[in-house]
Amino acid sequence: MTALITRPVATMVVVFARALTAVRAIWPESGPPMRPCVYFANHSSHGDFILIWAVLPPWMRSRTRPVAGAEYWLATKLKRFIGLDVFNAVLIERDREKRTGDPIARMAEVLDDGSSLILFPEGTRNETDQPLLPFKSGLFNLATSRPEIDLVPVWIDNLNRVMPKGEIVPIPLICTVTFGEPLRLLPDESREDFLARTTAALLSLSPKSQGAAE
Amino acid sequence: MNEARSDLILLLIGTGGFLALASLIGTVLKLRLSPDGSNTTIENLNARINAWWVMVVLIGLAFIAGRIGVVILFAFCSFAALREFVTLTNTRRADHWALAAAFFVVLPIQYYLVAIEYYGLYSIFIPVYAFLFMPIISVLRGDAERFLIRIAEVQWALMICVFCASHVPALLSLDIPGYAGKNVLLIAFLIIVVQMSDVLQYVWGKLFGKTKIAPKLSPSKTVEGFVGGVASATLVGAGLWWITPFSPLQAAGLALTIAIMGFLGGLVMSAIKRDRGVKDWGHLIGGHGGLIDRLDSVVFSAPIFFHIVRFGWSLT
């Protein structure tokens, strides 16, 4: 029954995001992933997962769930509606002291159900001038728990200029979402090596780093 | 059916026939030279022809819808062009409100003024009022870093993408004796001549191009393409005199003027792309690049064409 409301709302959000940003997906040569996977992306705006969602082929959208902080998305009725009902987010309690369940087990469960995840390994929005914040351990722990799952780096470009933190009116600017080749945890790879490798894979998709390489 | 309508429909049928011929040639070339889609020139040619179909259908629908249709179409073109332009600028957080104002206040007001034919205000609104108030909005945030560059870029973006582009629908407000109700054909004349000039420069350049005309700015432009393209676009314009208030000779002179302005505008916009390190303004139109890649020559010729016709032929 709620699908009657959430479907049109989700479509409206995607249409609005597209009208504002003319967002374009850049896929690697192997094309969009065909099996459940974990998209890990840079995080600079609340709209990040909407943009990833908007460029996914429609049949993949309903099987792709963002991982988000429970504290934020359960705070008000509207956020709860958007986060839980419209985008079907996997909500994680970020506070170690207070949390009841194991977030990694929760994410692994969703993958086992055949859905993909959108994960922001920086853990919070990046408001610095650095291209990326240091990754938290979540991505490594998830990869350890499900080593056979593909990890797809996703660079979201320009959305932080569309709506910087604290602004209420978005400005229209062209955004791109660049997907990289999937990675997996190597046997015996240490946490540090794995996080360094995934960070480098994500950074290499940024237009700025590509411009510097040319 | 009145005369303006029948001229317009004749013109749309003619354009459709021309594109059908182009599609036929494109298909034959593809079948003979690139059956597996490996020849990028032919693939790009066909992508361009297909995009032309979409553009002609949109413009045709706007023409049939009349004044409001044309104003809304160009307002959306300005929106998309401004978005492409601002994406490539150096704006900072402190410009957020100024940019929001550019998109959501200045642009709608400019097109509203064009829609109500308020020449006295739409011809100075952006050059005077936006010019003064946009930097005021930016400066209130107190960020002086690269300030002159930032405000100059935003003003330039507005002038090109909104002010100049809005002179295309502004042609509808001219009051030319004996031409009442037919102004939409002036827009058709302008767009056909400018775009045919671009296409013919491309064709002449591909066939006979040898001498580069601006190697540092736009390596694909050649003297042969420029001369051949502008000369044949002038002939196209002269041949379209029957849809205009001009004599054949006047139509040729105006076509020559707008073709040259279009060429020079293309050079200016190429220099900006070089400066910003991009090949195309965007990806909106398959095979062509961004909207500005298609619109650059129109925006440079539209205000000049508008003012020549206004001073030479219009009562207002």
Q: Over the stretch B229-285, which tens digit does the pLDDT of each residue have?
A: 999 999 999 999 988 899 999 999 999 999 999 999 999 998 998 888 888 888 877
CA distance A137 to chain B (A): 31
Domain count for chain A: 1
Min Cα distance B158 → chain A (Å) is 14
Order the strands of the A64-69 sheet from edge to edge: A24-26, A176-179, A150-157, A37-41, A116-119, A64-69, A90-92
CA distance B84 to chain A (A): 7
* A173 vs B83, B97, B283: nearest CB: B83
User: pLDDT, tens digit, for every residue of B144-188?
Assistant: 888 899 999 999 999 999 999 999 999 999 988 888 888 888 998
Q: Does A164 touch chain B (CB under 8 A)?
A: yes
- Closest residue of B to A25, CA-based? B283
Contacts of A26 (CB under 8 A, 6+ apart): A176, A177, A178, A179
A171/B86 CB distance under 8 A: yes
Judgement on whether residues B297 and B191 belong to the same structural domain of the protein: yes
Q: Using DSSP bridges, classify how beta strands A90-92 and A150-157 pair: parallel, antiparallel or unpaired.
A: unpaired
Chain A residues with CB under 8 Å of B86 CB are: 171-173
The nearest CA of chain B is from the CA of A157 a distance in Å of: 11
Average pLDDT over residues B200-225: 85
**Do B82 and A172 make contact, defined as CB atoms within 8 angstroms?**
yes
Q: Nearest CA to B83 among A42, A130, A24? A: A24
Task: Determine, for residues B100 and A161 on separate chains, whether the beta-carbon distance falls below 8 Å.
Answer: no
Closest-CA residue of chain B to A158: B87
Whether B106 and B162 map to the same domain: the answer is: yes
A161–B91 CB contact, under 8 Å: yes
Q: Determine contact: A165 vs chain B, CB below 8 A.
A: no
Is residue A25 less than 8 Å (CB to CB) from chain B? no
Q: Is B163 left (phi over 0), alpha (psi -120 to 50) or beta?
A: alpha
Q: What is the pLDDT of residues B274-292, one digit of tens each?
A: 888 888 888 877 777 888 8
Q: Tell whether A167 lies on the interface with B, counting CB pairs under 8 A.
A: yes
- In chain B, the number of structural domains is 3
Is A138 within 8 Å of A103 (Cβ atoms)? yes
Q: How confident is the model at residue B223 (pLDDT cuts 50, 70, 90)?
A: confident
CA separation for the pair B73, B66 (Å, rounded): 11
Q: Which of A173, A177, A214 is the mutation pick for testing B, counting most B CBs within 10 A?
A: A173
Residue carrying the six token digits 């029954």: A1
Residues B268 and B285 in one domain: yes
Nearest to A175 by CA among A159, A199, A190: A159
CA distance A54 to A49: 8
Which residues on chain A are in Cβ contact (under 8 Å) with B104?
169
Average pLDDT rounded to a whole number, residues A192-214: 78
Residue A117 one-letter amino acid: L
> Which residue does chain A place closest to B102, by CA atoms?
A171
Q: Can you read off the two tokens belonging to residue B95?
A: 């410009």
Asked if A172 and B84 come within 8 Å (Cβ–Cβ), the reply is: no
- Please check whether residue B267 touches A, CB under 8 A: no
Q: How far apart are the first and last CA of chain B?
A: 27
Helix (H, G, I), strand (E, B) or coil at B19: helix
Question: How many other CB atoms are there within 10 angstroms of residue B44's CB atom?
Answer: 13
SS3 of B303, please? helix
The letter for the amino acid at A16 is F
Q: Is the ipTM of this complex over 0.95?
A: no
Q: Could you tell me if B316 and B265 lie in one domain?
A: yes
**Does residue B199 sit in the same domain as residue B303?**
yes
* Domain stop point among B124, B147, B173: B173
* The pairing of beta strand A64-69 with beta strand A90-92: parallel
Interface test with A, best of B78, B87, B153, B276 (most A CBs within 10 A): B87
With a cut of 60, say whether residue A211 has pLDDT above it.
no
* Three-class HEC string of B128-169: HHHHHHHHHHHHCCCCCCCHHHHHHHHHHHHHHHHHHCCHHH
Which residues touch A106 (CB under 8 Å, ≥6 apart)? A90, A92
Shortest Cα distance, chain B CAs vs residue A36, angstroms: 29
CB-based contact B289:B281 (threshold 8 Å):
yes
Contact B282 A164 (CB under 8 A): no
Please state the rounded mean pLDDT for residues A127-153: 87
CA-based nearest distance B82→chain A, Å: 9
User: Do the Cβ atoms of A169 and B104 come within 8 Å?
Assistant: yes
When CB atoms are compared, the residue of A164, A169, A174 closest to B93 is A164
Residues B78 and B291: their CA atoms lie apart, in Å, by 9
Which pLDDT value is given to residue B302?
95
Judged by CB atoms closer than 8 Å, whether chains meet at A161 and B84 is answered as no
Torsional class of A188: left (φ above 0), alpha (ψ -120 to 50), beta (otherwise): left
Q: Which of A22, A164, A211 sits opposite B96 (nearest CB)?
A: A164
Q: Do B86 and A169 touch (CB under 8 A)?
A: no
Q: Which of A158, A161, A211 sits opposite B277 (nearest CB)?
A: A211
What is the tens place of the pLDDT at every residue in A13-52?
A: 889 999 999 898 889 888 888 888 999 999 988 888 889 9
Given B38, B65, B92, the domain boundary residue is B65
Q: What is the domain range of residue B16?
A: 1-65
A41-99 per-position pLDDT tens digit: 999 888 888 899 899 888 888 889 999 888 888 888 888 888 888 888 888 887 777 77
Same domain, B265 and B304: yes
Residues B186 and B290 in one domain: yes
B216 with B159, same domain? no
Cβ contact, residue pair A171, B277, below 8 Å: no
For residues B131 and B187, state if they share a domain.
no
The pLDDT-based confidence of B7 (bands split at 50, 70, 90) is confident
pLDDT for residue B1: 47
Expressed as residue numbers, the domain containing A26 is: 3-213
For residues B168 and B201, state if they share a domain.
no
CATH code for the domain of A36: 3.40.1130.10
- Percent of chain B topping pLDDT 90: 48
Q: What is the DSSP string of chain A?
A: -THHHHHHHHHHHHHHHHHHH--EEE--TT-S-SS-EEEEE---STTHHHHHHHHS-HHHHTTEEEEEEHHHHTSSHHHHIIIIIIS--EEE---TTT--S-HHHHHHHHHHTT-EEEE-TTSS---SSSS-PPP-THHHHHHHHSTTSEEEEEEEESHHHHS-TT-SS------EEEE---B-PPTT--HHHHHHHHHHHHHTTSHHHHHHH-
Contact A211 B284 (CB under 8 A): no
- Co-location of B89 and B104 in the same domain: yes
Alpha-carbon distance B97 to nearest alpha carbon in chain A (angstroms): 8
Whether residues B2 and B58 fall in one domain: yes
B307-313 average pLDDT score:
92
Number of residues written out for chain A: 214
Contact B283 A24 (CB under 8 A): yes
B94-143 pLDDT per residue, tens: 889 999 999 999 999 999 999 999 999 999 999 999 999 999 998 998 88
> Of B46, B65, B84, which residue is a domain's last?
B65
